Each structure stands twice: as structure tokens, then as C-alpha cells.
Amino acid sequence: MNPRLRHWREAASVLLAAGAPGRRSPSPLGPCDYELLFLQRSSRSGFMPSAHVFPGGLVEAADFSAEWLRLLPAAPRCGLGAVRPPPPGGSRAPLFATDRQPLGSPLPGEVAFRICAIRETFEEAGILLLAPGGRPREGSGPAPSLPAEQLLPAAELGEWRRRVQEDPACFLQLCQRLGRVPDIWALQEWSNWLTPVGRAGRGGRRYDTAFYLCCLETRPPHTSQDNQEIAAFLWSSPPEAIERFKSQEIWLAPPQFYELCRLCNFSSLNDLHKFSSDRALEGCERWLPVTLTAADGFIQLLPGDELYPEDPDYTGEKKITMSTDKMVEDLMKEGSVFHRIVIKNTHSLAVYVNIQAKYKHMNPLMINTDSSNYNSRL
């Protein structure tokens, strides 16, 4: 945790991909041999009510507890590799770059944020992403799901889930009870999104969220919503999820839509796992979407776009707004360097990007959920 932060809180989320061999995809984007876990937030939620999101939530002091060092390997960063220096002109996301020692935690942020995402996945979906204790998991492929016979009886596990929801420190006790540790090595650093100024939830809530990717061989044996923060769950391939969004069956926030478009580059779980593993130590930068209000919609500008401000207003204290009387179509015709999400309404999003992705990452497929076509020359 970082008690010095005043304008947002730190969080972690995981894009959980599970193998689904032999499945048939009705999406026109093509077949896909894996599914992602989506959780539908409660309609009473103060932030993105009823949205379908990836598992995750706020980091807690327990995620940074020094007690984890007694369970995890003693190697540097608990066996996680060292992230390479950023490329020229790039920067390491502050979420990861912050030295946590002066803040009272000997646990590196790279470890604690993974523990947070794993703990939240258990709280929200009942899924335990754990590995044998003492050393990093061996093997180069997707991680195995914890077999049902290695789990506690359903009633006892449900009681542990309730305890962890009430007190996050109980998650460490659960790991001790099972003789396992959070499988931090299965979570690959993927991206970092900061809630835009002006898009905060009730109470001005903004979040600096670490997004990880975790590939599992098969779907975990038990998935269940908590019926508190989470109203329902859905396993769906990235192309199918976009089709559900287009048909207004589900609602996705722009970051989730962007990441789904990026995952649509991969129809194979093994290819996705290899890509995420190979590039994970390249790190990532923090993205703050900056909203440009047009006459008939919004454009969320991302770093690298020709209209992205040189000095973004991260805190909102400058009270800077970007607006124009021009139509979205005119802005698109006038532009040439794009990294943006066009928002016509809640279910009409489109990603446009023609810049080189940094950190050896993959650009999203440019998927449009309405009939507009502003990118014929991209």
C-alpha cells in the first residue's frame, strides 16, 4: 500500500484465461481455444455498477505483509525475474517502480500486487491460484488448475472465503492451512491503467490498477460469485465477449474492451501464454486515458496519440478539460497518428491505433462495435 497517495488508490486485476480445447466459437472473429473469466459487478456498486470486469480489487496492507516472506522463496523478488530498464523515452509504471521499503514493507510491489490479484480472485470467484510452497512452479506452459481433490471440503472452503472477505490477512492463514503459496509466477505483468479524471465513481473513486495475465491449462473446478460485490460470472472467449458487448448482453468499460481487442490477436492459449511470458520482463508504462469531448461522442486519448497532452493532468487539480464542436468523424479524418478509443455511446466503442506498441507488446485489433469506419487508411 502507498499511504502517500491522495488522488487514487492502488489495485490489481487478473485476466484469467483457461484452456477450452475443442470449443466452437460462434464469433465472426474466429475460433478460440480458451476462455476468460468475467465477473459482473453488483448493481449497487459505487464504481462501474453492473459492469463485467476481470477479477481484482483494492490492495490491502495484508498483501504487503512481511509474513509472506516466510512462505515464498528467498530469492530476489521471490523468484520473479528482474524487469528490464524501460526503452528510450519510456518509463516504468510508478505502481511497480515505487520503493516499498520506506513505506514500511519489505515485500516488493511486483509480489504484493500479484498476491492482491490472487486473493481477490478467491474472494470474488472462489478460485484459488496456488502453487506448492518453497520454490517457483516448474514448467513452461500454462499453469495447472488446483485439482478439486486438493481443495478443502466445500463448506470449509466457503468459511475460509468468508473469513478472507472480512479480513484479508486470513488469506495467508489459508495458504498455510493448505501448505501452498500464491502462484505469483503464473501471473505475467500485462498493463497498468489509471482511472481518467472525470470518470471516477461515486465519492470520486479512482484506481491505479495493475493488470496481470494468467493462463491455466483448464478451467478451475469451482467458480462461484460471492453475491456481494459480484452478482454473476461468465466464462467467454475474447471474440464472444465482444459479440455479447455489441448485442448489449454485457457492458464493458473501455480498458476491458481495449484488452479484449488485444487478446483477439491470439486464438491459441499456448501462443498467448508464450507471448505473455516472453514479454513480461519488458514491463509496462502507466496509461491515463485523457477524454476529448466531441459534438457527438467522446474520444479517450492514450499515450502516443497525436492529441495526447504533453503534460497530462494526473490528479485533476488543474481542472483541464478538452472539448471541441467538431464531430468524431471529422476529428478522425483530420488525424494521422492514433492511439485512442472512440466512444459514441455505452455500447459503441472502437479502438484505433497505428503507432508501434512499446515494451514488445501487441497492439489491439481495431474492432468497431458500430458501423462507423474511420480507419480505412490505417
120 is in an annotated binding site: yes
Q: What are phi and psi of 210, to 5 degrees?
A: -85, 125
| Residue 269 contacts residue 32 (beta carbons within 8 Å) | no
Tell which residue, 15, 31, 26, has the closest CA to residue 268: 31
Spatial contact of 352 and 261, defined as CB atoms under 8 Å apart? no
CB 187 within 8 Å of CB 14: yes
Output the nine-digit C-alpha cell for 244: 455479447
Residue 47 CA to its chain's centroid (Å):
16
Could you say which DSSP state residue 219 is in? -
Is 217 in a helix, a strand, or coil? Answer: coil
**In this structure, which amino acid lies at residue 370?**
D
Q: Is 124 annotated as a binding residue?
A: yes
288 φ, ψ to 5°? -110, 105
Cβ-count burial of 346 within 10 angstroms (0-12 exposed, 13-18 middle, 19+ buried)? exposed
Query: Which residue numbers belong to the known binding site?
Result: 120, 124
Query: Which residue numbers belong to the known binding site for Mg(2+)?
Result: 120, 124
